Structure formats: C-alpha cells, structure tokens
Chain A
Amino acid sequence: AQSVTQPDIHITVSEGASLELRCNYSYGATPYLFWYVQSPGQGLQLLLKYFSGDTLVQGIKGFEAEFKRSQSSFNLRKPSVHWSDAAEYFCAVAANSGYSTLTFGKGTMLLVSP
C-alpha cells in the first residue's frame, strides 16, 4: 500500500519569499501524485497533479511541483508567496494501476508573515 509523508507540520514564510513544501511517498512504482490546498472552513482544492512525462508540473495560483523518482519526492514550490496563500497543503498519492483510493499526507500549514 502507498503512503505519504509531509515532514513539516508548520512553515512560516515572509510575503514575497519563495516557498517549498516537502512531500515524500512510498510506493513500489511511479504513483499518481497530487497537491491539494485547503483554506480555513473550506474543502480541498486541487493545485496540480503528476501522472507521467515531464517531471516539472505547473498548477494553479502560480504553484509548481517536481517529481523526483530517485528521492521519492514531489515537492511543491512557489517563487513568491502572497498573503492569500496562507492555508493548509496536502500531498496525496494513488497507485497507478486500476482504481486506487487516495492516500493523503497529514498536511503542512503555511503561515505568511508580512
């Protein structure tokens, strides 16, 4: 079965600074990978997804993520953080064969300081 680790529970970034949120997965092959964002009091919104091909994936709101097979990682990045990016971010993985339910990491809370 697949699993996901998000090592950072909280991260604080100054507005305008760059951001990297870490995600490591465990799976025997290349999985399907997702990043979701959750604003307070709301459900999760898909930021981006990786299935195959180009290992650098572009998403909404200026986010991107890079799949690194050798490190079993799928880190989320943004070059310049805005105060509205403050939210909780979840990495998720699904097996790439047949139907597989999503397995979520425990989330990283992003705080943006002025």
Chain B
Amino acid sequence: DAGITQSPRYKITETGRQVTLMCHQTWSHSYMFWYRQDLGHGLRLIYYSAAADITDKGEVPDGYVVSRSKTENFPLTLESATRSQTSVYFCASSGTGDSNQPQHFGDGTRLSIL
C-alpha cells in the first residue's frame, strides 16, 4: 500500500548507543522531514530533506544525523543516544517545495533511552 512507514514502532536502548530510525515513503515525494514530539513542546523539526543528497537542519538538530541516498528513504540516526532524546519521532513527506503543500505523517516511533 502507498504511504509512509516508520520502523521500528517502539525502541528501547541505553545511553551512548547508536540507534537508527527508518522512514520509507512510496509516493516519490521530494520533501521529507523528521520531527520529535514532547509534552509541552508540540512537534519540533529536527532535519528535513528537499531531495536525495540534500538535507538541512531544523529547529533541534543537535545529536542527530540524517542521510538521504534514495528519494524514498530518510533514516534518522542518534549517534550516541542521551536520555534527553527519549521522545516520539515522526517522519513526514510532502510532494513539492511549495509551503502550501500539506505534509503526510507516519505513525511514529516511540524511543526510550535508559
């Protein structure tokens, strides 16, 4: 089925470990985004990508790394996880670079760092 899928849905890891969250979309959308959602903060943009091999920082990029070698995939890596990165992470995509285009969201990854 077409759509945007995130994996895993749930992840528990320890501080200092590397963890990668996956995002895959089947629409061939140009733009992809990573957000984190925390109580009292709403959704905050971590990184976004306008196309394969083009990425840019959002509001809260520190401690995260992204790559986009293929249009359909946009993995997010925490190179050395910290407890403050415990959050729910959402991936989204949109068809074009026009800011009037809505974003389509995955169901999220709930990440707990012990």
Interface residues of A (CB under 8 A from B): 32, 34, 36, 41-46, 49, 51, 90, 94-102, 104-107
Contacts and interface: CB of A to CB of B under 8 A. Distances in A.
A44 B100 CA distance: 17
Given A104-B43, A105-B42, A106-B41, A43 B90 contact: yes
Interface of B: 4, 33, 35, 40-45, 48, 50, 58, 90, 92, 97-100, 102-108
A88 B100 CA distance: 22
Contacts of A44: 43, 90, 92, 103, 105
B21 to A, nearest CB: 14
Closest 7 CB pairs of A and B: A43-B105, A106-B42, A94-B99, A100-B99, A99-B97, A104-B43, A44-B105
Contact of A43 (B42, B44, B107): B107
Contacts of B105: 36, 43-45
B100 A101 contact: no
Interface majority SS on A: helix, strand, loop or mixed? loop
Nearest to A46: B102
Contacts of A101: 33, 45, 48, 58, 99
Contacts of A34: 102
Contacts of A43: 4, 90, 92, 105-108
29 contacts: A41-B107, A41-B108, A42-B107, A43-B90, A43-B105, A44-B103, A46-B104, A49-B100, A49-B102, A51-B100, A90-B43, A94-B99, A94-B100, A95-B99, A96-B100, A97-B99, A98-B97, A98-B99, A99-B50, A99-B97, A99-B98, A99-B99, A101-B33, A101-B48, A101-B99, A102-B99, A104-B42, A106-B40, A107-B42
B42 to A, nearest CB: 4
Contacts of A105: 42
Given A46-B102, A101-B33, 11 more contacts: A36-B105, A41-B107, A42-B107, A43-B106, A43-B108, A90-B43, A95-B99, A96-B99, A96-B100, A104-B35, A104-B42
